[in-house]
Structure 1
Amino acid sequence: MKQKPLFTNKESKALDSLATKELGFHEQTLMGMAALSVFHANEDLWKTAESIWILSGSGGNGGDGYALAHTLFQEGYSVRCFATSPNKNEAGKFYEALVSKTIGAIGSVDDFYETWEEAEEDSVLLVDALLGTGFQNPLSEELTELIDTINESDVFFYRLSLDTASGWNPYLLGEKDSKAHSFVFADSIEELGTRKWENIGFIYEKDSIIPRYYESIGFPVRSHLNNVTFSKRYYLEADPENAIAIIKRKNKDHKYSAGSALFYGGAEGMEGAILLSEQAFSRLGGGISKISSPSLKISSLILKEDLSKMAKTSSLAETLEDPFLKKTKTIVVGPGLTQYPNDLSGWEVPEDFRLVLDAGAIPTKGSALPKGNQILLTPHVGELNRMTGITHHSVQAAYDTLVDFCPKNNVYVLLKSFVSLLVCPDGSSYVWESPNPKLATMGTGDLLSGILARYLSLDLSIPEAVHLALSLLDHSKQLEEPYPSAHQILKSLVEII
């Protein structure tokens, strides 16, 4: 899989300590490397600014700001520096002094306000170096006012944050105190040295995740990937070409080697959900499949559409005794069901079987889960809240719940949202951050369960199947139709492969 490690604030600090104390890096050198990385990554952006203002805090993040200011000034850009207070970081003090000697006096917060009042609209590019990733305390009134001014001002045509947007704390989302939500509305974030877990899902506009760019500065990232110092959180990158290549049938395939699956769902009046899930499986190359449903209409609906299909009206208990089950290793339960089937409670899933629970098969809190080694639950946020009895306002909060829930119940959970999160029984987790508004329509969850079944039927692991399924669905972004139906999305995926 294409994956990149994500580090928590605590892990990033430990990595910084490893670099400076054990490997002998000078913090001053790392700070300079960070500044150079940001400078070169944004050379086209700097050229658009009449003036660049850098607002620094008293810690290492502020030191990064001073180091960047020094580089920009030496390269001929118009730079002004303002600070909330003198820098306390030893490397930061060096660059603060360097800026004072070369650029001139560093302005205070009062100086910032005075200069801001006289500035013209859209004339300033602001670099936010106020607060680093380690800042967890409530904002002071002074900082809250400063950040609110930055956000509301029409002077700044662009806001670039170093490492994280100052004041951003995903764990405060949903808190009643409005002051907890004051953070810089960055247009982009430059992550320095490590990709930051706490930055995942940074969003202040309803339909857009703010872009983050990772800048390598020589941190010993690979030296830090062990079970003691790393919590096995990864960022998934799209792999669209591989998603297509793997799903295509091979010339030597027969109906079972091409993939087989059993689908159960579709209560009376909701048969379309399980039909769509099975269609995704079969039309994307699955060799053989069967639908079982509590609906009395299921056979007539399916055979009316395709005489080659297999369908049966039955209870889940009867379905689990179906001889077809012995010929397949992939089962999807839930699309089109209205409640959690009691027959799932405590069911011993046969060894090597892959069970996907979706929609109506997502349990409520207290329901007994089936038992097996490859069980995947695919809730959306509301279903996750119902399943755990906890309300979640961020992907980080969902992780905190699931990192206990998944090992305890020996299940994988894929949270479906604008940021998708897969948490595994072994404690590892994977984040998919690729918002796709075209998937915000009825039926796309059923579609995903069928695509997951397609990849799982090829004996892929659950993390691999999730990665490839999400990568394949990402192709729907290319559809010209602004609000495609789930059937239109499926049709486009079929055409691609």
Structure 2
Amino acid sequence: MATQKALRFKSDMGIPLYTAEQCQALDRHCIDDLGYSGYELMQQAAQAAFAVLLSEWPNVQELIILCGKGNNGGDGFEMASIAQEHGIDVQLVFAGAIYRLEGEAKLAAEAAISSGLDVISSEQINWYKPNCVIVDALLGVGIKGAPSDDVSALISLVNESPLPVLAIDVPSGVNASSGYVAAEAIIADITVTMLLNKQGLFTGHAPDYVGQVRLANLGIPKSVRTYLEISSRLLNWHSVQQGALFSPRKVTAHKGDFGHVLIIGGDSGMAGAVSLSASAALRAGAGLVSVATRPEHVGAIVARQPEVMAHGVESGQQLIPLLAKADVIAIGPGLGQSSWGQQMLQQVMQSTLPVVLDADALNLMATGKIQHNLAQRISVMTPHPGEAARMLGVDVSSVMQDRFTALRSLSERFNSYVVLKGAGSLMGDSAGIKICTDGNPGMASAGMGDVLTGISASFMAQHLQALPKHLHQVISGAVCLHSAAADEGAKHGQSSLLASDLLVELRKLLN
């Protein structure tokens, strides 16, 4: 067993994130209980968005400001007034009837119109003005489904335009709580989000739409935010590498201090997956790594990575002595769903060692044919949305509509810590969720998940003393390291990025 001394871990690591409903509740709290003026907050939001606009596009000469009927549209009307005061021409577009506006949005619209601005229809927009920027203030954080037909048509025109786009609070059409896009959504270059960072801006479909995200706190003190419980947190490699996971090793350290990982997989024709996972576990710092695979794969695995102890196994019974020597198990890379893979998983479920489950281990569990004992052990599952959907008995669209709920459902159903992979990977359980902001589209290639499985098992083996209390820090570190390594590799090109490229980058980042 690994004997490394337990280290101190920070539990509040990462930037706090909130749901749309929480942001609306904070807005009401500021107005109803703390004496803030709703109209003044709207003015401050417009000022903040305008300041970001000038910093990003200092030569802007004209704005196309698209306003909706809610307070988000009110922010747009206020921004139109500010722009006019600064001598910037404005095409002010309202998707609706002015007389139907209410509250602060009505006040903002009246102020803009009284200053001499004309409200035009979408048909009157000139999309080809030089030094022009589009401002999206159509739909705010309240949207849950698809935009109306007229708004969808306007969103399509924006996305077809060559002009840059600044979105106020959230790009119209993006769910601020989940990151789901039901139909059309504005593709922004910059999103200036108000009061609080919304968790939906960093995961799901949202990364394709939000561009750079800037927070404007509108002068509300940080102490006011304690009114809300944090919904999730935002992490990246820079933040996690400051933690206890990456403390220097003792001078007297030996390989037994850093755990023994057993990786099980590699059915016929799939040796590469388990080999990648084993190499990643070694590069991530595990003291010992063994592989249990089909006998015909042993020679190739050892030739590729001689530090791996590779064993050919034909049955679950042959796995028993290997399990007895391990500290952490990883099962799934190249496992397959044949009788061989089923035997391997069944035998693993007789053990109580910490386990990482990926790929076909998850697909086999989704069939319900293999009984698991995950309530009696530490376990981590690393599904992509398709695997998560199979395990929950739903379609992929249902998972994507609310990745946060899907993760919690998986965690509760299988008593596991869950990494729901994808853009803005989620990591967590019922106690809390974190989002990794590292990563890039080049990771959409074979073997990336196998590398993550190896890193995760390696970190668990090196920090056994910290489990289960600090499992979330351990796995967050693994996920962010994996994604940061992919970002380093992608500097040479995303489309040509291979999973094996990450192995070199792991060494650089860890040292």
Secondary structure of the structure 1 residue equivalent to 2:257 = coil
Question: Does 2:475 align with 1:466?
Answer: yes
Question: Does 2:368 align with 1:366?
Answer: yes
Quote the offset at 1:357 in angstroms: 0.7
Q: 1:292-441 residue pairs with structure 2 within 5 A? A: 292-293=292-293, 295-304=294-303, 309-314=308-313, 317-318=316-317, 321-322=320-321, 325=323, 328-339=326-337, 341-342=342-343, 344=345, 347=349, 349-350=351-352, 353-362=353-362, 363-367=365-369, 368-371=371-374, 372-393=376-397, 395-424=400-429, 426-441=430-445
Q: Which residue of 2 aligns with 1:282?
A: 282
The answer to whether the Cα contact below 8 Å between 1:30 and 1:217 also exists between their aligned partners in 2 is yes
Q: 1:64 aligns with which of 75, 78, 83?
A: 75
Secondary structure of the structure 1 residue equivalent to 2:462 = coil
Query: Could you list the per-position Cα deviations for residues 198-223 of structure 1 after superposition, in whole angstroms to 9, with x for gaps in the alignment?
Result: 43447599x78633222222446665
**CA 1:24–1:344 in structure 2 vs 1: closer, same or farther (change >3 Å)?**
farther
Q: 1:188-227 residue pairs with structure 2 within 5 A? A: 188-201=190-203, 210-219=211-220, 223-224=224-225
Quote the offset at 1:304 in angstroms: 4.3
Query: Could you list the per-position Cα deviations for residues 47-104 of structure 1 after superposition, in whole angstroms to 9, with x for gaps in the alignment?
Result: 23221122222211111112222333333433343323337343333333332333x1
In structure 2, C-alpha distance between the alignment counterparts of 1:401 and 1:343, rounded to whole Å: 27
Bigger Cα displacement from structure 2, 310-319 vs 141-150: 310-319
Quote the offset at 1:192 in angstroms: 0.9
In structure 2, C-alpha distance between the alignment counterparts of 1:181 and 1:415, rounded to whole Å: 23
In structure 1, C-alpha distance between the alignment counterparts of 2:384 and 2:426, rounded to whole Å: 10
Q: Which amino acid in the other structure matches residue 233 of structure 2?
A: Y
In structure 2, C-alpha distance between the alignment counterparts of 1:308 and 1:198, rounded to whole Å: 42
The answer to whether the Cα contact below 8 Å between 1:290 and 1:309 also exists between their aligned partners in 2 is yes
**CA 1:164–1:208 in structure 2 vs 1: closer, same or farther (change >3 Å)?**
closer
Unaligned runs of 5+ in 2: 1-11
The answer to whether the Cα contact below 8 Å between 2:278 and 2:308 also exists between their aligned partners in 1 is no
Q: Which residue of 2 aligns with 1:163?
A: 169
In structure 2, C-alpha distance between the alignment counterparts of 1:316 and 1:190, rounded to whole Å: 57
Question: Does 2:501 align with 1:488?
Answer: yes
Question: Does 2:255 align with 1:261?
Answer: no
Secondary structure of the structure 1 residue equivalent to 2:237 = coil
Q: Which residue of 1 aligns with 2:9?
A: none
The answer to whether the Cα contact below 8 Å between 2:190 and 2:211 also exists between their aligned partners in 1 is yes
Secondary structure of the structure 1 residue equivalent to 2:311 = strand
In structure 2, C-alpha distance between the alignment counterparts of 1:326 and 1:219, rounded to whole Å: 56
Quote the offset at 1:32 in angstroms: 2.2
Q: How many residues align?
A: 478
Q: Which runs of 4+ in 1 moved over 6 A?
A: 170-175
Quote the offset at 1:42 in angstroms: 2.8
The answer to whether the Cα contact below 8 Å between 2:195 and 2:215 also exists between their aligned partners in 1 is yes
Q: Which residue of 1 aligns with 2:152?
A: 144
Question: Does 2:61 align with 1:50?
Answer: yes
Q: Which residue of 2 aligns with 1:184?
A: 186
The answer to whether the Cα contact below 8 Å between 2:173 and 2:185 also exists between their aligned partners in 1 is yes
TM-score under structure 1 length normalisation: 0.84
In structure 2, C-alpha distance between the alignment counterparts of 1:373 and 1:187, rounded to whole Å: 45
In structure 2, C-alpha distance between the alignment counterparts of 1:95 and 1:269, rounded to whole Å: 65
The answer to whether the Cα contact below 8 Å between 2:423 and 2:439 also exists between their aligned partners in 1 is yes
**CA 1:170–1:4 in structure 2 vs 1: closer, same or farther (change >3 Å)?**
closer
Query: Could you list the per-position Cα deviations for residues 272-312 of structure 1 after superposition, in whole angstroms to 9, with x for gaps in the alignment?
Result: 3222211112233321222222x123443445456654332
TM-score under structure 2 length normalisation: 0.82
The answer to whether the Cα contact below 8 Å between 2:146 and 2:184 also exists between their aligned partners in 1 is no
Question: Does 2:132 align with 1:127?
Answer: no
Q: Which residue of 2 aligns with 1:33?
A: 44
In structure 2, C-alpha distance between the alignment counterparts of 1:407 and 1:167, rounded to whole Å: 30
The answer to whether the Cα contact below 8 Å between 1:60 and 1:89 also exists between their aligned partners in 2 is no
Question: Does 2:510 align with 1:476?
Answer: no
**CA 1:188–1:355 in structure 2 vs 1: closer, same or farther (change >3 Å)?**
same
Q: Which amino acid in the other structure matches residue 327 of structure 2?
A: K
Secondary structure of the structure 1 residue equivalent to 2:405 = helix
The answer to whether the Cα contact below 8 Å between 1:173 and 1:181 also exists between their aligned partners in 2 is no
Quote the offset at 1:5 in angstroms: 2.6
Secondary structure of the structure 2 residue equivalent to 1:442 = coil
Q: 1:94 aligns with which of 103, 107, 110?
A: 107
Quote the offset at 1:9 in angstroms: 2.1
Question: Does 2:453 align with 1:449?
Answer: yes
Quote the offset at 1:138 in angstroms: 5.0
Quote the offset at 1:126 in angstroms: 1.4
Question: Does 2:130 align with 1:85?
Answer: no
In structure 1, C-alpha distance between the alignment counterparts of 2:444 and 2:146, rounded to whole Å: 35
**CA 1:364–1:222 in structure 2 vs 1: closer, same or farther (change >3 Å)?**
farther
In structure 2, C-alpha distance between the alignment counterparts of 1:390 and 1:328, rounded to whole Å: 35
**CA 1:444–1:404 in structure 2 vs 1: closer, same or farther (change >3 Å)?**
closer
The answer to whether the Cα contact below 8 Å between 1:263 and 1:274 also exists between their aligned partners in 2 is yes
In structure 2, C-alpha distance between the alignment counterparts of 1:307 and 1:96, rounded to whole Å: 71
Quote the offset at 1:170 in angstroms: 8.6
Q: Which amino acid in the other structure matches residue 414 of structure 2?
A: N
